[in-house]
Structure 1
Amino acid sequence: MLRLAVLFAGLLAVQGQTTNVQRCTGRGSNGDLPINAYLEGCENPPCRLPQGSFATIHLVFKAPRKMMRMTTYAQAFLLGIGVPDYPLGEFAETCNFLSNSFCPVMEDEVLQYTLKMEIDGFPTIPVTVEFRIEDDADQSIMCIRVPINIVSS
């Protein structure tokens, strides 16, 4: 019952705050879409992100199985061509940024996760970024694709 109350409170907190994201097409594209995704300040992509700032993405998703740990990856696509994963540093450790749970997570547990990504080193042109979460067996759990425009700060 407590989990249901936490889920309901979390969904109320993000109600009306949703970014229109797409299903991934790159590596790891077999991950599900989340229950909700919100890139702060953006509802309808392409999202404008200033160079030198942080993008904050709130995700609500269901754990497909019991998992000991999870890792987040970001990959940019320039003109449709994928480039190597963008380093997320400490933010790649998904379990450290869950707000309603901790690892290990149980199967069917609804998780609230916040990812911060520094917008640095991207060219000031339109790009598409895929954010994916993988479990400790390198299996995709969740993946979203969102077009962004990096702008000068």
Structure 2
Amino acid sequence: MLRLVFLFAGFLAVQGQLRTSNVTRCIGRGVNASLPINAYVEGCVNTPCRLPQGSFATVHLAFKAPRPTLRMTTHAQAFAFIVPINYPLGEFTETCIHLNNSFCPVRKDIVLQNTLQMKIEEAFPVGRPVTFEFRIEDDADKPIMCVRVPVVIAKTPTAVNMTTGSAASPTTATAVVSL
């Protein structure tokens, strides 16, 4: 019984994170997909997330499978202005390969955890707000989960090498904070 109370409290905490954060449900183009149970971007303390140009952002998603699914595909789009730009995820497009707690095919109502990485292109203008949309679709191209995360592109930070005195640019964020 005590275990059930802790699970329910954990569920409420996750739900509270989504309601109080700035992540939003996807809209338009017939997208009728649920928000994930949990979503976070490594290195993001508060939204909008500050992501440096040239770095790699790691995104963790937990979501529930609404139906049995043989295969899943992850899509990303960037909304820098009004026009959505398809954002290539490379190998991370294949959702099933990057499930942390399961594999495909999946059963209905199973909670899945997915991790993906994406490069923050240097073409994005520094200081501009950008919204990234992450959408997971099943083998019939029906949305399973979709979330939008507000981001501000930051200039690549430089670190000084104490031995040589030269600047080096970090390429990955390391802290993990839930949105």
Q: Shorter-chain-normalised TM-score: which range? A: 0.7 to 0.9
Higher alpha-carbon Rg: 2
Aligned residues: 142
Q: Which residue of 1 aligns with 2:98?
A: 97
1:74-153 equivalent positions in 2, closer than 5 A? 74-83=76-85, 85-124=86-125, 125-153=128-156
- 1:43 CA drift (Å): 4.2
- 1:93 CA drift (Å): 0.5
State percent identity of aligned pairs: 61
Query: Which secondary structure does the structure 2 equivalent of 1:132 belong to?
Result: strand
| Structure 2 residue ranges without an equivalent (≥5) | 157-179
| Structure 1 residue ranges without an equivalent (≥5) | none
Q: Deviations over 1:89-122 (max 9, x none)?
A: 0011100111100000111111011111111244
Pair 75,27 (structure 1): closer, same or farther in 2 beyond 3 Å: farther
- Compute the RMSD of aligned alpha carbons: 2.4
Query: Which secondary structure does the structure 1 equivalent of 2:75 belong to?
Result: strand
Q: TM-score, normalised by structure 1?
A: 0.83
Pair 138,32 (structure 1): closer, same or farther in 2 beyond 3 Å: same
- 1:52 CA drift (Å): 1.0
Q: Deviations over 1:66-94 (max 9, x none)?
A: 111100011111223222x1111001110
Query: Which secondary structure does the structure 2 equivalent of 1:96 belong to?
Result: helix
Pair 131,138 (structure 1): closer, same or farther in 2 beyond 3 Å: same
Q: TM-score, normalised by structure 2?
A: 0.72
- 1:26 CA drift (Å): 4.1
- 1:151 CA drift (Å): 1.4
Choose the corresponding residue for 2:49, options 25, 32, 47.
47
